[in-house]
Amino acid sequence: MNPFLIDKYYNPNFEAQPPLWGFEFAGAHTIPHILGASSSFSREALMEIGGFDEEIEYFLDESEVCRRISETGRKIRFLNEGASVHHQFAPGITRDERRLLTHPYPVVKNKYYVCLSDWRRNGGSLSDYLTQCDDWLQELRDGARWQLDHGGITRKEYDSFMRDVERGLHDGKERALKQSRKSVEITPAKPEALLPFPTQKPAGGRKTFVFISRGNFRKGGGGIARYIWDLSLGFARLGHETHLITLTDGPSSVEFHDGLWIRHISKDALQNDGIDSDVADVFGHLESGAAKLNIGWAKAAHAEVLRLRQDRYIDLVVAPVWDQEGLYCVLDRRLTTVVSMNTTFRRFADIEFRNLARATIEELTMLENLYVGSARLFHANSSSSAEHLRDDFQVGPDVRIVHAPHGVEDAPSMSAEIAPARKAPTRDGGVKILYVSRLEKRKGTDLFLEAVARLVRKHGDVQVDIVGRDGHADDPDRSLRTQFERIYPGQTNVVFHGELPNAALPDLYHDADIFCVPSRYESFGIIFIEAMRYGLPVVALDIGGARDIIENEVTGILCARESSAAIQAELERLVMDKSLRTRIGKAARKRFLQVYENEIVIDQTLGEMLSLLKPTTPASSQG
């Protein structure tokens, strides 16, 4: 909302400071006004003035109503606690996609019409009214001339503009002096005729949640981005006011999607130079580009949260631990911020340290330590995440940890039954193994490639599909794919698909018989439940969040040893035993539907988040 004043000639005054009602005194002829926001008027007030003037199709329509209402002795007031409504700019009847005024007819017509209609009604100096309007119109003409001279508009557009101005000037004067106000009859209200408007009324009242996710799931982001997207949409669906702050390569914008406010922040808006004192005191100068980006994003996300906070109460801010996205929100004690535990940089760096620069490791570790150490509320997606907090970060007894897993939507192509029939392979092979994740050491890609290389040599009909981004594609010495293709040239049974859009994955899951990603650590493992929803037996290492998801030999297989030989043995067992694959796949599908289906997880997570808004006793603070 942009409050300001308008004078008797409808000229805006943006310099007046609130409270704007202080300018409402006898003879002032000024009224409070708003720009680009919604107005509400009582039915009685509109009945008294005859409603809106139907002559004013655009520009000054609300202004004229405000003037008329103020003349009845009523007051115009702003309600700061009202909800803000944002919309993306779209070309309209007067402005094109460049935001240039290209069709000034209704603007000019209404300016003269409203001002001269007021003169007819209230009297005064006609010369003053005409002078004010003419000065305003000259500025409009000068602006169009400047655009022409500087290439903003073409000569054809300029000539059309000037013709519109002349038509608007003529019609505005003539209609103001000759015709009566086009009022309408407003009949008394009939409450009994109103139809109920369906609204969600969450138990315990409507809350306001703000989620932060630098990655955008709709543009290919996976893992954390997908989980935050599903959760924020789910909270909105349940009737809560929900906002998602995310990063975009394009201009900053706001959109409304299925009840969710999505606030896109442009990369150009990030402040990468300099860091606030409360962080600078800890780090001083930053060298790592990753650390600078994380700081810039955390600052931009926090600034957007504070903009939201200006006209609404925010119950909870939810931000992931990865990339320290909620750092400034955690440091701001005016906000109640929950850190959602995913794989931490500390765990990632322990495994991938050979591929990271020293400054990156040191600075991101310090940032993460400050972030986690300053937080008081955590959401743990697995027992491993909670243990990680306590064991590796030594969080104090005053923190509160709530537990809820991640979830994903069921695949539309799957039936409501426990699992569809898998295709029947031949006796010695014909089985497809699927890997979907990044190609990196943390995901155990090296172990997987060694295992399947030996497996396909032994079972020539086994097919392996590998989907995921190669993080070191430009560096042959570190690229796991390049190393594999160098050692096993011409291997056609192992197919690298690279990074694929989400829409391309269902076919691969349907065609697969076994899913395997032997991650050396997963705080949770969304990849496993994504496979389980397709009724696939999952092979993983017995570590981290996989232990919460997979019941060994029931809903999947957990390898006790971190070795390619152990992974190969378990894959071969499934390849050779169709009944084992079928039994485990059915159990996996059943567990997905009972525990990890998206709506079940959303309800559980919402309940846990709402519990953080309640006071707790020291005895229950550990969740």
What average pLDDT does the segment 202-207 reach? 89
| Confidence label for 551 from pLDDT (cuts 50, 70 and 90) | very high
Beta strand 253-257 with 260-266 is antiparallel
Nearest to 525 by CA among 592, 463, 578: 592
CB neighbourhood size of 92 (10 A): 10
Residue entry with tokens 């003529």: 170
Reported as a single tens digit per residue, the pLDDT across 167-191 is: 999 999 999 999 888 887 788 888 8
On the question of a common fold for 208-403 and 432-596, the answer reads yes
Q: Supply the mean pLDDT for the chain.
A: 85
CA distance 532 to 530: 6
The least confident of 301-305, 389-393, 504-508, 534-538 is 389-393
CATH topology of domain 432-596: Rossmann fold (3.40.50)
Helices and strands counted in the chain (H then E): 20, 17
- Is 554 in contact with 531 (CB distance < 8 Å)? no
Nearest to 257 by CA among 88, 92, 411: 88
CA distance 294 to 62: 44
- The answer, yes or no, to whether residue 497 has pLDDT greater than 50, is yes
CA distance 48 to 125: 27
Structure confidence at residue 220 (pLDDT): 65
- Is 536 in contact with 512 (CB distance < 8 Å)? yes
Radius of gyration of the chain (CA): 32
CB neighbourhood size of 9 (10 A): 18
Reported as a single tens digit per residue, the pLDDT across 19-33 is: 655 556 555 677 776
| Confidence label for 37 from pLDDT (cuts 50, 70 and 90) | low
* CA 525 remoteness from chain centre: 22
Sheet arrangement for strand 253-257: 253-257, 260-266, 241-248, 208-212, 316-320, 337-341, 377-380, 400-403
Percent of the chain with pLDDT over 70: 86
Reported as a single tens digit per residue, the pLDDT across 333-387 is: 999 999 998 888 888 888 777 778 888 888 888 898 999 999 999 999 888 888 8
CA distance 270 to 325: 13
Nearest to 340 by CA among 390, 379, 387, 381: 379
Reported as a single tens digit per residue, the pLDDT across 91-134 is: 444 544 445 677 889 999 999 999 999 999 889 999 999 999 99
Task: Give the domain ranges of the chain.
Answer: 2-178, 208-403, 432-596
Structure confidence at residue 494 (pLDDT): 93
CATH 3.40.50.2000 fits 208-403, yes or no: yes
Nearest to 466 by CA among 438, 485, 442, 444: 438
Structure confidence at residue 11 (pLDDT): 87
Sign of CA dihedral 221, 381, 445, 361: positive
- The answer, yes or no, to whether residue 606 has pLDDT greater than 60, is yes
Nearest to 291 by CA among 370, 388, 392: 370
Structure confidence at residue 287 (pLDDT): 79
CA distance 248 to 227: 18
User: Structure pTM?
Assistant: 0.68
Beta strand 2-6 with 31-35 is antiparallel
- Is 433 in contact with 514 (CB distance < 8 Å)? yes
- The answer, yes or no, to whether residue 392 has pLDDT greater than 80, is yes
Torsion angle (degrees, nearest 10) of CA 56, 60, 61, 62: -170
Across 38-52, b (16+ Cβ under 10 Å) vs e yields eeebeeeebeebbbb
The top-scoring range by mean pLDDT among 221-225, 283-287, 333-337, 418-422 is 333-337
What average pLDDT does the segment 80-84 reach? 54
CA distance 531 to 537: 8
In order of 107, 117, 122, 366, 370, the CA distances from 129 in angstroms are: 16, 10, 12, 65, 62
In order of 137, 140, 306, the CA distances from 264 in angstroms are: 37, 33, 15
CA distance 239 to 228: 17
CA distance 251 to 264: 8
Structure token digits, residue 394: 């030594």
Structure confidence at residue 71 (pLDDT): 85
Structure confidence at residue 31 (pLDDT): 77
Q: Which helix (H) or strand (E) holds 69?
A: helix 61-71
Structure confidence at residue 620 (pLDDT): 47
Residue entry with tokens 């609204």: 199
Residue count of the chain: 623
Structure confidence at residue 82 (pLDDT): 52
Specify the 3-state DSSP secondary structure of 256: strand
The top-scoring range by mean pLDDT among 7-16, 275-284, 481-490 is 481-490
Contacts of 130 (CB under 8 A, 6+ apart): 116
- Is 76 in contact with 66 (CB distance < 8 Å)? yes
- Is 16 in contact with 23 (CB distance < 8 Å)? yes
CA distance 535 to 422: 8
Q: Which helix (H) or strand (E) holds 118?
A: helix 105-122
Beta strand 208-212 with 316-320 is parallel
Contacts of 33 (CB under 8 A, 6+ apart): 3, 4, 5, 6, 12, 63, 66, 76
- Concatenate the DSSP letters of all residues of 487-532 into one string: HSTT--SEEEEES--GGGHHHHHHH-SEEE---S--SS-HHHHHHH
447: left (phi over 0), alpha (psi -120 to 50) or beta: alpha
Sign of CA dihedral 181, 176, 137, 6: negative
